[in-house]
Structure formats: C-alpha cells, structure tokens
Amino acid sequence: MNCSNFLTRRRRGTKAAVVLILAIMFMGCQLNDDGFEDTGFIPVGEWSDGFDGGYNITEFSVEYYSPDYGPDFPAQTLKGNIEKVVGFSDNSGALVIKITQAENMEHTPGKYTCVYYKEYSDNHVLLANPVGPAYETIEVDSLNAALALFTSGNMSTHVTFWGSGYTK
C-alpha cells in the first residue's frame, strides 16, 4: 500500500466533505422552506415605554401591551409568533408575525402583521405596529402578502409617530 497515495485520496475526500458541509450550512442558514431569506435582527428583550406599556420579544414571539387609559382607551394586548425577520438598513427592520391573540385591538388571530423596529442599541429601540392613514389596523391573510407589504419603503407610511422609544 502506497501511504502517500492513501493520504492524498483521503485529503481530497475530506476537502470535498468540508466544502459540501459548509455549502449546506450556508444554504440552511440563509433560506427557509418557502425560499424567503431571514435577513434581520430580532431585538430580543422586555422593552418598556416607561408608562406601563411595551413589548416582550423573544426569538420566536412578540407580545405588545398597553395600560388601561380609561373607557376610551382600554388596555390592549397583541401576541404573535415571528414568521419572518426582514432587515432594512441602519439597524432597522420588520418582525413579521402571525397573530395568535388580540385583546381590545382590531387584529384577527391567524392573520399577519408586523412590528417595525429602528435605531436598535443594546438598551434602546424604536418599535411600532403598522397603521393605515386613518390609524386603522393593518393585517393581511398570508405570509407572502405580509412580506410584500411590510417593506422598508412602506415603513414611513405605516408608522406616523415613533415616540421616544423603548428601553430594557
């Protein structure tokens, strides 16, 4: 048995295996089953607005809550599972969620909406739910429709006021 020939063949096979594994890992991290790329960052944390409202964001879900401001503005809750994360420029993006629960909000469980974020830092971020021109709820029936609607170009149309932001 020629040892140098054996080592050469083994090295070629090892190189090919490493290249194949890296290619599979790269493709697996970039594309999901439906072909859309998760390109954004998830601002994980319990974010407070300083007025008993805020967002609780995990790697998999979003919960928005606001306090009770009286009969005209009761406490609100919106919960959903993160289906896609779309990154925009300048530390901003959209968490596209499938709604699982809504209390005192006009959202429909099973439909899709998003939470826009921008100017993220370790302890501060601007977060907003999208609204229409008359402050109506924006939600759509499918993930594809949500990905087409919740874009960087529509963020300024869907968010009319960012406020002072949220802190951890």
Contact partners, residue 36, CB within 8 Å, separation at least 6: 84, 143, 147
Q: What is the rounded CA–CA span in Å between residue 51 and residue 60?
A: 25
| Position 84 pLDDT exceeds 90 | yes
8 A C-beta contact, residue 165 and residue 54: no
CB count in 10 Å sphere of residue 8: 11
Domain boundaries of the chain, sorted by first residue = 1-30, 45-167
Q: Is 18 helix (H, G, I), strand (E, B) or coil?
A: helix
Contact partners, residue 31, CB within 8 Å, separation at least 6: 37
- Mean pLDDT check: name the lowest of 9-13, 45-49, 134-138: 9-13
| Backbone region of residue 44 per phi and psi (left: phi > 0; alpha: psi in -120 to 50; beta: other values) | beta
pLDDT tier at 90 (50, 70, 90 boundaries)? confident
Q: Considering the entire predicted model, what is its pTM?
A: 0.76
Q: b/e for 51-87, b at 16 or more Cβ within 10 A?
A: eebbbebeeeebbbbbeeeeeeeeebebbbebbbbbe
Q: What is the dihedral of CA 5, 6, 7, 11, to 10 degrees?
A: 100
Q: What is the rounded CA–CA span in Å between residue 4 and residue 57?
A: 56
Q: What is the DSSP string of 111-132?
A: SEEEEEEES--SSEEEEE--B-
What pLDDT sits at residue 89? Answer: 86
What pLDDT sits at residue 147? Answer: 96
The DSSP output letter for 31 is: B
8 A C-beta contact, residue 114 and residue 126: no
What pLDDT sits at residue 8? Answer: 42
